A = this chain, B = another copy of it.
Amino acid sequence: MKNHLQIGILGFGTVGSGVLRILKHHEPKLNQVTGVSLRVKKVLVRDIDKKRGAIAEGIELTLDVDEIINDPEIDIVVEVMGSIDEAKNYIKKALKAGKHVVTANKDLIALHGNELVALAKENQCDLYYEASVAGGIPILRTIVDSLASDDIQKVFGIVNGTTNFILSKMTSEGKTYEAALKEAQELGFAESDPTNDVDGIDAARKMVILTRLAFGMNVELDQIETKGIRDLQQEDIQMAEKLGYKIKLIGSAIQIEENISVDVGPVLVPAKHPLASVQNENNAVFVVGAAVGETMYYGPGAGELPTANSIVSDLITVAKNIQLGTSGNVFSSYQHETSLAQDSEVRNKYYIAIEMQDKTGQFLALAKVFSQCDSGFDQIIQQPHSSETAKVVIVTHEINKAQQKEILKALKDSKDMNLLVCFKVMEGK
C-alpha cells in the first residue's frame, strides 16, 4: 500500500481553492481515515501570474493539462473547471492515462456520464461525482451505501435550489412568479437566463444521475417528462394551500415492478410532509428502501464550501478504494437494463385547473370528460375567474397516466374549456 497519493486539480476557482483549503486544514484527520496522505501536486490554471496567496504554496501551477495527465506521480484528477466539452475531453484523457477522477460537473455527468463511466471501468479507474447532486448533502454516497444492503424503491425530492427559492417566495410572501424570479436573480440564486432551472432541465439532469445510481438504469433526458414552473400562477399556490398542500418542484424516480418511472414537475405536497417545509434554496431528497423505510437528506443544494466538502468526501473514497484494491467501481456498477414503466402502470392523483365559460351545461360537460375517462373527483372547487369565465380546480382520484392523458386531451379538444395546469398530487404523511 502507498504512503501518499498525489492529486492534480483542474481549475483554481472558488471550489478548487476550497478543496485545497479543506485538504490542508484537515490533513491529520484525512490521513487517519484513509490510512494515506493526500497531497495536491499540480493545479491547472488559466492565468499563471495571478496572486493566489498562501494556499498555492508548494503547489505547481500549470497552463497545460498534459502536465497533469502525463505526470506518472499523479494518482487522482479533480475536475472543477466547469464547462462541458473541455472538461469531458480532459476527463477522458485522464481516465485513459489511468488516473482516478473526481468531478462536480453535473451537466457533464448527466449528459455523458455513461460514456465516462464505461471509460473509467475500461481503465479500472474510479469516477466519483458526489457534488453533482444536492451540493453538500451526501446523497449519492448514501444511495450507494444503502444499496449495498437494501433495495431502493423510490428516490424523490427537491433537487433544484433556484426553483425552490422562487416557489418559497411565491408561497410565503405572495409574490408573483416574475417578482420571485427577479429576487432570485438579484441574490445570485438564478442566472440571467433562468431556462435550465425554471423549466426543470437542471432537475431532470439530476434525476438522470440519481436514477442511474439508485436503480442502475440509464434514462435519457428526453425520456423524463419534465415540467417547469413558468406557468405556475399565484392563484394555484393559494388554491393548493386551501386544499392543504404546498407546491414544490419535485423530481421523482419510482420503481414499478421491474420498470422505472422518472419525471420532474410541480407537485402538490401535503402541508405536513417534510418536503413542504424545505425553504428557499435548500434541497431535500427522500430515499425509500425496502429495509430502511423512508429516509430524507436535507441541506444546501449548492455553494462553494459544501461543494468542496463533497469533493473531499469523494477523494476519501477514492483513496480508500486505491488502498483496498477496489478501484474501478465507478460509484456504483449496479446495472440493469433500462425499462420504462407503461402509462397504465403509473398511478397518481392529479390537480387539474380549468378555465371555462360560466354558462349552464358547462359543468355537466366537464363531469362527462372525467366520467368517460373513468376518473372520479377527490375534491372540486369552482370560483369566478373573470366576468365571463369560472375557474374550476379538481383533485382526481388516483388514476393512471393513460387516463390522465386522455382527460387532458379531451379538455384541450373542448371549445369551451381551457386547461390551465395539471400537477401531480403527493399523498401521505
What string of 1s and 0s marks CB contacts (under 8 Å) between A271-283 and chain B? 0111011110010
Contacts of A359-381 to chain B: CB distance below 8 A: none
Give Cα A306 to B290, complex, Å.
Answer: 9
List of B residues within 8 angstroms of A316 by Cβ: 145, 148-149
The reply on A83 being an interface residue by CB < 8 A is: no
Contacting pair A147 B329 (CB below 8 A): no
Give Cα A329 to B147, complex, Å.
Answer: 25
Contact surface of A with B, Cβ cutoff 8 Å: 1, 18, 22, 26, 29-30, 32-35, 136-138, 141-142, 145-150, 172, 272-274, 276-279, 282, 284, 289-300, 303, 305-306, 308-309, 312-313, 316, 320, 323-326, 329, 333-334, 429
Nearest residue in B to A303 (C-beta to C-beta)? B293
Contact residue among B289, B299, B329 (Cβ-Cβ distance under 8 Å from A294): B299
Contacting pair B277 A312 (CB below 8 A): no
List of B residues within 8 angstroms of A306 by Cβ: 291-293
19 further interface pairs, Cβ-Cβ under 8 Å (given A35-B324, A273-B277) = A18-B291, A22-B291, A29-B334, A34-B326, A136-B291, A138-B146, A142-B142, A149-B313, A276-B277, A277-B429, A284-B296, A290-B305, A291-B309, A293-B299, A293-B303, A293-B305, A294-B300, A296-B297, A323-B324
List of B residues within 8 angstroms of A290 by Cβ: 305
List of B residues within 8 angstroms of A282 by Cβ: 294
List of B residues within 8 angstroms of A313 by Cβ: 145-146, 148-149
Per assembly, the copies of the chain total 2
List of B residues within 8 angstroms of A300 by Cβ: 292-295
Give Cα A284 to B295, complex, Å.
Answer: 9
Dominant secondary structure of chain A at its interface with chain B: mixed
* A30-B148, A138-B145 known; A298 vs B295 contact (CB < 8 Å): yes
Contacting pair B324 A150 (CB below 8 A): no
Give Cα A334 to B30, complex, Å.
Answer: 12
Chain B nearest CB, measured from A74 CB (Å): 20
Chain B nearest CB, measured from A205 CB (Å): 22
Give Cα A424 to B240, complex, Å.
Answer: 33
Give Cα A26 to B150, complex, Å.
Answer: 8
Chain B nearest CB, measured from A128 CB (Å): 14
A137, A278, A293 — which one has the most chain B CB atoms within 10 A of its CB? A293
Contacting pair A309 B295 (CB below 8 A): no
Contacting pair B295 A299 (CB below 8 A): yes
Chain B nearest CB, measured from A395 CB (Å): 21
